[in-house]
Structure 1
Amino acid sequence: MASKTPAEACEAGPADEAGPVDESEGLLNGSGRAPSWAASKFERTLTVAVEGMTCTACVGAVERGLRAHPGVLSASVSLMGKAAKIRYDERSTRPDEIVAAIQRLGYEAEVQLRPESERLGGGGEGGYGAEARAWRRQLLGASIFSVPVFVISMVLPMTPLQAPLSVAVVPGLDVSVLLLWILATPVQFGFGLRFYRSAYAALSHGATNMDVLVALGSSAAYFYSLTFTVLSIASAGLQGENKQCFETSAMLITFILAGKSLEAAARGKASEAMSALLTLQPPTALLCEGPWVSYSDEPASDEHPSGPATISSTISISSTISTSSTISISSTISEPREVTVSSLAKDDVVKVLPGAHVPVDGLVLRGASSVDEAMLTGESMPVPKAPGDKVMGGTINGTGVLFVRVLASAEHSTLSQIMKVVADAQHRRPKIQAFADRVSTYFVPVVVGLALLTYLTWTAVDVLGYLPHYYLTHCGLKDTQLFAFMFGCAVLVVACPCALGLATPTAVMVGGGVAARHGILIKGGDVLEMAATVSAVCFDKTGTLTTGELRVRHVSVWGVDGLPAAAPASLQPPAQEITGAVEEEMAGYELKGMTAVLVAVAPETALVAALRLVGLVVVSDSLKPEAFSVVQWLERRNIEVWLVSGDNERTAAQIGREAGIARDRVLAEVKPQGKAAKLAELQRLGHVVAMVGDGVNDAPALAQANVGIALGSGTDVAIETADMVLMKSHLTDVCIALDLSSRVMRRIRINFLWASGYNCVGIPFAAGVFYPWLLIQLPPMFAGAAMGLSSVS
């Protein structure tokens, strides 16, 4: 099978007579080991954009709701991607029914018509940039009311202006309380309405999320204040000013909005790599059209065989792109027409000006230039391009003008496939994420129980007479019930499941984006997790450790007259000497990792029974320059390196020596199934195995490996089967991928440690566990601020 680029592999795929191929899966998708065309003809895949999810509890609620829906076979929800991927049976349900099921859970949902990668872009509509702007607008609106609340409740009481604020409007209600009541109400029920809606939707379906805690905490503060204010008006004997805390509800919601704004901005920061890739796609292209552009399905002539573009002797350029199609461009070209990139179709011809982005994947028909491919492959130097060379959409043209034939539409380009892999990685979670999922299931009910227990405990301490009076005076309170209430309310709002929920997806998104910038496509968070623990790496030889290009190293030609011609070589001493010398010379070359090919001719007469040896041609496949340093890097990290090849023993051994691989770890003459068996043997010994290969014969081993790594120059089967794809086909990217995986997993563990530590320390502190020693009470409004900031940190 001929090698294909990743983008071509995405276009390829056998026809599925049993049903259509799921167009949401390409060869780079890696959604599973089995190709998409192996699925049932009634199975379909749907991607739904979901808005309103705030934490892993929301993700769990949506997934449980989808899996309970009739006809849904599987569902995966991405918090960072704000999308759900659903596999369903079209005989049992429809897309609109699935969307309605999500909406009944209280979330906004619609069938995703544009790529998920575009929605992940920070600046686009529906991306994190738009989300952050929406939260900032909410924050600005709430601040208009909450800043005066803060000034009236915290600042003015320490100034001479306190006297006018203490004037009674009616008995039991002074000016300051009235103003706080008026200002806090729109914050509570206007800007806090989204928390009520989300909490109600979750609770109505038997689920809980962070918004339940926010709604409970702010409502408790508001209605506690309202109750005592009304009672104070009804009975002037109640000291309403000592029992109200309207500022707590207003400031709490404002701080939560501030935290949400920062959190959305942080998510946008995490998706910067995706945003950078999006900017590579130009919105328009220069389309060449008219009678001077001709397309023919006639087979290529013998003068122009199938292959690279060829400049003819006349004024046209003829390029045979496939085996039976030719495009010609006249030298007299009129002004191209500007069109949107999305309108381009296969076989269109576009003009790429100097310094412009190449709009789509294509093949150069005319012109010469150098193209900067750094953003897609990580290649630091511009790559020369001439007629017959392929160019990738999103790369930057140099100083020349290129005329390019479109090979694939924008949505099927290499750039789109890279963005799709990064986006799809969000739906394949590391196993460590299961910890956050389990915690989120019980987090909110446990916190509500702890808040109630906190209130009751402090109330019981007061009733039993064990509450020292200076506990109240030290925090500026006179009422013991309000004192106990403040602790309980603080527990409600300080707890944060969001930090746990964001610990993994943010790290996976950042890691996937960084890998994409280096030309490494990682197909899921689970791949990153497994790659971080790799203890053995197996390399294929041809095309992986070596260049895969045979070069002639030596040629020996002997005159025909000098060879025995009368009897079989095995019976003639001179012939035996010649044959022995040739075999000895062949063995010498093979020990050097080369392949010797004997050249013979048929006998000239019937008297000659043996072929006549006329020459010896020695060819070899050289080791890639970086192979030795890659092997050394792996071994320094205590990772075993193996060479598993189908080539002969002598050649494999020599390549192994050149690469620095121990002789006992070089396996030769191994068939494809034997490679997979060797990997299985290593796995039984406790190794986490990565396989690096590029050919069809490597597919079984790539599937068997814990982490399959395919070279981008390899076959489509290898790319389909692998978990990672190295776009540059450079072996140093193996080191980058493994090192990046370790760094991402280390960051995930740090995130989990921070999130767990925050809650383990923050909740007891808010509950007043340390109050007898520190005499510090955490006001609910500042507890809310801490909760918001914990998600950002």
Structure 2
Amino acid sequence: MAAPHTTQLKISGMSCASCVGRVETTLRAAPRVTDAAVNFATETALVTHEGPIRALTDALNDAGYPAETTQTTLKIDGMNCASCVAKIQKALSADPAVVDAQVNLATETAQVTFFDGATDPQKLADLSTAAGYPARVAIAQMDHAQEKDATALTRATIFAAVLALPVFVLEMGGHIIPAFHHWVQATIGTQASHLIQFALTSVILFSPGRVFYAKGIPSLLRGSPDMNALVALGTGAAYLFSVVATFAPQILPAGSANVYFEAASVIVVLILLGRVMEARAKGRTGAAIRKLVGLQPKTARVEMDGTFIDRPIADIVVGDVLQIRPGERVPVDAEVLGGTSYVDESMITGEPVPVGKAPSDQVVGGTVNGTGALRVRALRVGADTVLAQVIQMVEQAQGAKLPIQGLVDRITARFVPAVIAVALLTIAAWLIFGPAPALPLALVTGVSVLIIACPCAMGLATPTSIMVGTGRAAELGVLFRKGDALQQLQQSKVIALDKTGTLTLGRPELESVTTANGFDRDQVLRLAAAVEARSEHPIASAITRAGPSELPEVSSFQSLTGLGVQAAVGGHNVLIGSPRLMEQNSISLTDLAVEAEQRAAEGVTPLFVAIDGQAAAMLAVADPIKPGTEQALERLHAMGLTLAMVTGDNTRTAQALAEKLGIDHVTAEVLPDGKLAAINALRDQFGTLAFVGDGINDAPALAAADTGIAIGTGTDVAIETADVVLMSGDLRGVANAVEISRRTMRNIKQNLGWAFGYNILLIPVAAGVLYPFGGHLLSPALAAGAMALSSVFVVSNALRLRRVRASLPEDTHNHSSQTVTS
């Protein structure tokens, strides 16, 4: 029986002292718990128990007080292939407090989710280190260790190459140029040549190449060999055979005392070179994150006792007053207190047009101030800023494991042992059936099989594409908050969209003014705007915004519920409202009725203005379609997707908008729970569904959809619920998100096709299947070169995603102004 131990858990959902009692009762009733003490102030529980932590957390979940989880990122050294990933995940998951561990070979990181308080990041790093993969807790700033490792690896590779060159020339030069072989024999002699090769190869294997033995042999002894084990076995076999052939050739069969020092040394050089190329290429896959981190200013000018002093960004606290000079980056999210300027927010929204800022407006950290100076108050700092959250979202998406990766992991977990078995069978087959001298031929083929089959390319195929794809998406203003959305979105058959705030601006605007009975348009608009300025209705605000800045005085204002408003303005009696209001006041609408009906059929709201008892004008108010919406929907149609609208608006308005935009299916007049039913019906009819929305009422639909896409200008609730966030609020981002998703998955499939196809085709070649057809064997050195190039091909192919262009680039001019036509 396990010894009792104490675990601390962070508890959520406690709101009063009685909750404490319920939580304590729940924990004490859990299996093999001896004591539980809950602290309401700190919202923690100290539990003494002998059973597993999961028994405690399951009991808390059932009671409605779930244990909180938190996440940390570990930087891990020494990973070379997919089997390393599996080992590290197993080591981290061995901690009972760990909920989930996702290890990414491309970024050399692990994202670990654990029960808050039950363990800590440093303990998790120690678990990875104990498993043979040194780890450290990642800090918020970019970690430059990867760059240093690449530099050290480059030096080791150059050193190994300098030593391997004479070995290669001495041994292979004679095979290529017979005269050189005779010259070596006549000058230094064959034995001296072998001794020189032995000395140089020994330095290579026990200096730059020792990493393969230091990691490979322990993994072999643990019964879980990795790619280092393959290299160690292959080069070790070639080296030991060559040592015997050099110092005790008499114990080998006649004619088989050949040396393969050049194979061992060149294999090490080529695999090290492959790792250098991988490291450099993988460094480029994180370019998006580095670019985002580079947007964070290092210092800020803080107001202290009437003067401004520069302070490190880490020292800024909420409430500090800062000065932002022309051309500077905004240091933190803040509210403008004084000054006016235009700020370039393209790094957050993707919109290239600078946005005007004045007192009471908010600015986002990392954006670029224009020509004006601003005085601001810090609202959000550190990890709470929009930029920090964007960086976190991208990092989490880059570290995600897609469903397709699960299949790859299951295959690669069994791959290395299978390769060793194939190599042993190859050696046995050559020893039994091969021509004389069979031993060196068996050695060459066995070593070639071990070397060519290293599963680096398999392990890199998926994560490198995810890194580059999600990074490029972020640069286009598309954030994949959940990694599996990258795979799920490209499977979508139907895109369902909310109407208000998604397809439209979500704010009524005065679209047109049609006058009658000789009234002047400007006069009508001036009087109507003055009256509506007294009302708080959104339609009234639209009319007021469209009017002049200076308005006449209003007297005897009266709101007529459900009908409109009435007021006296500048000596005129003004009525604004519905046809029923006009009818009640015996005002004829004959000259305006036909156009009003036409506009209503188009989804526009017609309002009538009467001045001094006569019909003066018809005001057409509508929620304008967002700029770029029509192009976005055309592009989505061109991608073969079905488009649907799900809205709470009235059916006539929704149908008119759908006809104008070419939307295939409309569900209108639904409440939030009705949206869920509509989504399920659409999914049943068309297949996998993505939903695009922006409001609080869209959150359930975003969560229920196969992929939820939130408009970034929408509510926090919608954004938190979604799988994908469009930072600009422009629907063209949906087309970009689908394009990135499709291109990334296509790239992953290309990589996997190459990685698996390469091994399926070349392992038999390495084993010698072509030998009966011309006596050709694959040299171990060539096998090492092919293996290295395989990994480089996969990473280079993933890097092509950096060149993906926006499926629909956003316009370079400002769409915010609305035109009122007569």
Q: Which residue of 2 aligns with 1:426?
A: 398
Q: Which residue of 2 aligns with 1:344?
A: 316
**Distance change >3 Å, CA 598–CA 21, structure 1 → 2:** farther
**Distance change >3 Å, CA 422–CA 21, structure 1 → 2:** farther
Aligned residue pairs total 677
Q: Which residue of 2 aligns with 1:492?
A: 450
On the 8 A contact 1:55/1:79 being kept in 2, the answer is yes
Q: Which residue of 1 aligns with 2:196?
A: 179
Percent sequence identity over aligned pairs: 36
Residue 557 of structure 2 corresponds to residue 542 of structure 1: no
Query: Which deviates the most, 634-643 or 352-361?
Result: 352-361
**Distance change >3 Å, CA 237–CA 107, structure 1 → 2:** closer
**C-alpha distance in structure 2 between counterparts of 1:206 and 1:577, whole Å:** 95
**C-alpha distance in structure 1 between counterparts of 2:792 and 2:583, whole Å:** 84
Q: Which residue of 2 aligns with 1:650?
A: 652
Residue 291 of structure 2 corresponds to residue 276 of structure 1: yes
CA apart distance, 1:369? 2.8
Residue 173 of structure 2 corresponds to residue 147 of structure 1: no
**Distance change >3 Å, CA 160–CA 287, structure 1 → 2:** farther
Query: Which deviates the most, 441-450 or 764-773?
Result: 764-773
Matching of residues 748-763 of structure 1 within 5 Å: 748-763=748-763
**Deviations along 1:319-374, whole A, 9 cap, x unmatched?**
xxxxxxxxxxxxxxx4x322222222222233333333222222233333332233
Q: Which residue of 1 aligns with 2:431?
A: 459
**Deviations along 1:78-111, whole A, 9 cap, x unmatched?**
2223222223346754544433322221100123
**C-alpha distance in structure 2 between counterparts of 1:253 and 1:669, whole Å:** 69
On the 8 A contact 2:627/2:730 being kept in 1, the answer is no
**Does 1 or 2 have the higher relative contact order (CA < 8 Å, sep 6+)?**
1
**Distance change >3 Å, CA 562–CA 88, structure 1 → 2:** closer
Q: Which residue of 2 aligns with 1:296?
A: none
Aligned counterpart for 2:133 among listed residues 96, 103, 107: 107
**Distance change >3 Å, CA 559–CA 150, structure 1 → 2:** closer
CA apart distance, 1:669? 0.8
Aligned counterpart for 1:228 among listed residues 228, 237, 245: 245
CA apart distance, 1:426? 3.0
Q: What is the SS of the residue equivalent to 2:507?
A: strand
CA apart distance, 1:587? 6.6
**C-alpha distance in structure 2 between counterparts of 1:219 and 1:573, whole Å:** 98
Aligned counterpart for 1:438 among listed residues 407, 410, 422: 410
**C-alpha distance in structure 1 between counterparts of 2:582 and 2:624, whole Å:** 37
**C-alpha distance in structure 1 between counterparts of 2:74 and 2:358, whole Å:** 43
Q: What is the SS of the residue equivalent to 1:394?
A: coil
**Distance change >3 Å, CA 512–CA 620, structure 1 → 2:** same
- Aligned letter for 2:212? F
Matching of residues 313-324 of structure 1 within 5 Å: none
On the 8 A contact 2:692/2:710 being kept in 1, the answer is yes
Q: Which residue of 1 aligns with 2:476?
A: 518
Q: What is the SS of the residue equivalent to 2:624?
A: strand
Residue 713 of structure 2 corresponds to residue 713 of structure 1: yes
Q: What is the SS of the residue equivalent to 2:80?
A: coil
Q: Which residue of 1 aligns with 2:235?
A: 218
Residue 162 of structure 2 corresponds to residue 136 of structure 1: no
**Deviations along 1:441-493, whole A, 9 cap, x unmatched?**
1110111111111111122123xxxx3x7xxxxxxxxx431122101100000
**C-alpha distance in structure 2 between counterparts of 1:440 and 1:236, whole Å:** 37
**C-alpha distance in structure 2 between counterparts of 1:558 and 1:745, whole Å:** 61
**C-alpha distance in structure 2 between counterparts of 1:258 and 1:778, whole Å:** 20
Matching of residues 770-785 of structure 1 within 5 Å: 770-785=770-785
CA apart distance, 1:198? 2.0
Residue 744 of structure 2 corresponds to residue 726 of structure 1: no
TM-score using structure 2 length: 0.76
**C-alpha distance in structure 2 between counterparts of 1:350 and 1:182, whole Å:** 66
**C-alpha distance in structure 2 between counterparts of 1:585 and 1:361, whole Å:** 48
Q: Which runs of 5+ in 1 are unaligned?
A: 1-13, 23-34, 120-124, 293-333, 470-478, 564-568, 601-612
**Distance change >3 Å, CA 775–CA 396, structure 1 → 2:** farther
**Distance change >3 Å, CA 15–CA 624, structure 1 → 2:** farther
**Distance change >3 Å, CA 707–CA 90, structure 1 → 2:** closer
CA apart distance, 1:773? 1.8
Residue 258 of structure 2 corresponds to residue 243 of structure 1: yes
Q: Which residue of 2 aligns with 1:76?
A: 102
**Deviations along 1:689-730, whole A, 9 cap, x unmatched?**
111100010011101111100011111110001011111000
**Distance change >3 Å, CA 656–CA 39, structure 1 → 2:** farther
Q: Which residue of 1 aligns with 2:636?
A: 634
Q: Which residue of 2 aligns with 1:6?
A: none
TM-score using structure 1 length: 0.78
Query: Which deviates the most, 216-225 or 688-697?
Result: 216-225
- Aligned letter for 2:717? V
**Deviations along 1:266-302, whole A, 9 cap, x unmatched?**
1112222222222222222222322x2xxxxxxxxxx
- Aligned letter for 2:168? F
Residue 507 of structure 2 corresponds to residue 507 of structure 1: no
On the 8 A contact 2:324/2:373 being kept in 1, the answer is yes
**C-alpha distance in structure 2 between counterparts of 1:159 and 1:446, whole Å:** 40
Q: Which runs of 5+ in 2 are unaligned?
A: 1-11, 16-39, 45-60, 514-527, 529-563, 574-578, 794-822
Query: Which deviates the most, 378-387 or 486-495?
Result: 378-387
Aligned counterpart for 1:408 among listed residues 380, 388, 398: 380
**C-alpha distance in structure 2 between counterparts of 1:288 and 1:515, whole Å:** 38
**C-alpha distance in structure 1 between counterparts of 2:238 and 2:583, whole Å:** 107
On the 8 A contact 2:107/2:286 being kept in 1, the answer is no
CA apart distance, 1:70? 2.6
Q: What is the SS of the residue equivalent to 2:323?
A: strand
**Deviations along 1:639-679, whole A, 9 cap, x unmatched?**
111111111122222222222224xx111111111111111
**Deviations along 1:105-148, whole A, 9 cap, x unmatched?**
11001233336xx23xxxxx123x33322221221221232122
CA apart distance, 1:39? 7.6
On the 8 A contact 1:496/1:790 being kept in 2, the answer is no
Q: What is the SS of the residue equivalent to 2:207?
A: helix
**C-alpha distance in structure 2 between counterparts of 1:411 and 1:90, whole Å:** 18
- Aligned letter for 1:785? G
Q: What is the SS of the residue equivalent to 2:259?
A: coil
**C-alpha distance in structure 2 between counterparts of 1:47 and 1:420, whole Å:** 11
On the 8 A contact 1:376/1:518 being kept in 2, the answer is no
On the 8 A contact 2:80/2:456 being kept in 1, the answer is yes
- Aligned letter for 1:76? Q
CA apart distance, 1:495? 0.7
**C-alpha distance in structure 1 between counterparts of 2:438 and 2:401, whole Å:** 48
Matching of residues 508-657 of structure 1 within 5 Å: 508-552=466-510, 575=584, 590-595=600-605, 619-657=621-659
Q: What is the SS of the residue equivalent to 2:380?
A: coil
Q: Which residue of 2 aligns with 1:393?
A: 365
**C-alpha distance in structure 2 between counterparts of 1:95 and 1:374, whole Å:** 35
**Deviations along 1:377-414, whole A, 9 cap, x unmatched?**
22223333333332222222223333332222143322
Q: Which residue of 2 aligns with 1:699?
A: 699
Aligned counterpart for 1:195 among listed residues 208, 212, 230: 212
**C-alpha distance in structure 2 between counterparts of 1:77 and 1:256, whole Å:** 23
Query: Which deviates the most, 488-497 or 200-209?
Result: 200-209
- Aligned letter for 1:387? P
- Aligned letter for 2:352? S
**C-alpha distance in structure 1 between counterparts of 2:430 and 2:217, whole Å:** 29
On the 8 A contact 2:399/2:467 being kept in 1, the answer is no
On the 8 A contact 1:165/1:175 being kept in 2, the answer is no
CA apart distance, 1:230? 2.7
Superposition RMSD in Å: 3.5
**C-alpha distance in structure 2 between counterparts of 1:686 and 1:67, whole Å:** 39
- Aligned letter for 1:184? T
